[in-house]
Amino acid sequence: MGDLSGRTALVTGASRGIGRAIAERLAADGARVAVHYGGNEAAAKETVAAIGEERAFAVRADLSTPDAVDTLFARLDEEFDGLDILVNNAAIATSSDFENTTSEEFERIFTVNVQAPFFITQRALSRLRDGGRIVNISSGVTRIAMPEIITYSMTKGALDTFSRTLAQQLGPRGITVNTVAPGIIDTDVNASWLRGNPEAEAAAAARAALGRVGRPEDVADVVAFIASDDARWITADWIDVTGGSDL
C-alpha cells in the first residue's frame, strides 16, 4: 500500500462502481478525495460516509452539460489548494449497435466519455502539482472488435490516444499519464444481464484467464499503484486489468 498522505485526488464518477472503489482505496492510502458524481446524491453520500468526512467530500457535476467543468472546479477550489491525482473514470455506455445509433446518442456519449475528461484535464493542469498523476479509465474493448458497442468503444479509443499523447506533453513536469483498461467488472452498468443470472456470470467468468468476473477493487488497486511514488517511471502506458480476458 502506497503512502498518499497529504495528496489530493479527484475521482470522477466516484459515487458508484469502479470510481467508488478507487476513491476508497486512494483515501485508505492517505489521500483526501473529491468524490465526483452526476446525479445520484445518495450514492455519493454513501461513498463519502464509507471514507469519512475528514478524507472526502462530494461534488456534483453532470458531465453531459456545458457548465460541468466550471461547476466541478468551483467546488474543488473551495476544498483543495492544488491537485496531485486526477482519475478520469466517469463514463456512460450505450446499448445501440451501428445501425441504430442516433446522432443524439453519439453526441451524448462522446460528450461524457471524451469531451468531459479532455476539458477536466485541461482545467486541472494549472492545479496539478509537478509529479502528479493522471489516470484515465478506458476499457479492454479498444483492443478487440465488439460491433454491438461500437460507439462506446470509439470513445475509449479516443481516451487511449489522449492519454498517450498527453503523457509526452506533461513528462517534463514529472506528471505521469496512464490508461487503465478493465474487462468485465461487476458494477451497476452490467447489473441487468449479469446479476442473478448464473449462466451469464459463468460465461463472463470464462472469458478471463483467471476464471471470474472482475471486482471494482481489482481495478482500484492498480490505480492506487499508478498513483503511488513507486510508479514514478511508468507513463504513457496502457495497463490491461482484464484478468487475462479476451475483452
- CA count, 13 A, side-chain hemisphere, 35: 33
- Residue 149 binds ligand NDP, judged by CB under 6 A: no
- The DSSP H or E segment spanning 128 is strand 128-137
Minimal distance in Å, beta carbon 183 to ligand NDP?
6
Rounded to whole angstroms, how far apart are CA atoms 111 and 65?
8
Residue 37 designated active-site:
no
Can you tell me which of 4, 31, 63, 175 binds ligand NDP, judged by CB under 6 A?
A: 63
Of 129 and 189, nearer to ligand NDP (C-beta) is: 189
Q: According to the binding rule CB under 6 A, does residue 115 interact with ligand NDP? A: no
**Closest distance of CB 130 from ligand NDP, Å:** 27
The CA distance from 213 to 81, in Å, is: 39
CB of 68 to ligand NDP, least distance (A): 7
Measured in degrees and rounded to the nearest 5, phi and psi for residue 202 equal: -65, -40
Q: Which is nearer to ligand NDP, 155 or 235 (CB)?
A: 155
* CB hemisphere CA count around 187 (13 angstroms): 24
With CB under 6 A as the rule, give the number of residues binding ligand NDP: 29
Instruction: Indicate the helix (H) or strand (E) that contains 57.
Output: strand 56-60
Catalytic residue (choose from 117, 152, 156, 241): 152
Binding flag, residue 241, ligand NDP (CB under 6 A): no
Closer by beta carbon to ligand NDP, 115 or else 190: 190
Cα–Cα nearest to 216, from 16, 41, 4: 16
**Coil, helix or strand for 90?**
coil
SS (H, E, C) 196-219: CCHHHHHHHHHCECCCCCECHHHH
- List for the chain the helix, strand, coil content (%; round to 5): 50, 20, 35
Q: Which is nearer to ligand NDP, 46 or 129 (CB)?
A: 46
Counting contacts by CB under 6 A, is residue 64 touching ligand NDP? yes
Q: What is the DSSP letter of 115?
A: I
Binding residue for ligand NDP, selected from 121, 153, 187, 235, defined by CB under 6 A: 187
List the interface residues with ligand NDP, window 6-45 (CB under 6 A): 13-19, 37-40, 43
Residue 184 lies near ligand NDP (rule: CB under 6 A): yes
Select 129 or 215, whichever has its Cβ closest to ligand NDP.
Answer: 215
Question: What are the catalytic residues?
Answer: 152
- Which residue ranges make up the site for ligand NDP (CB under 6 A)? 13-19, 37-40, 43, 62-64, 89-92, 112, 137, 139, 182, 184-185, 187-190
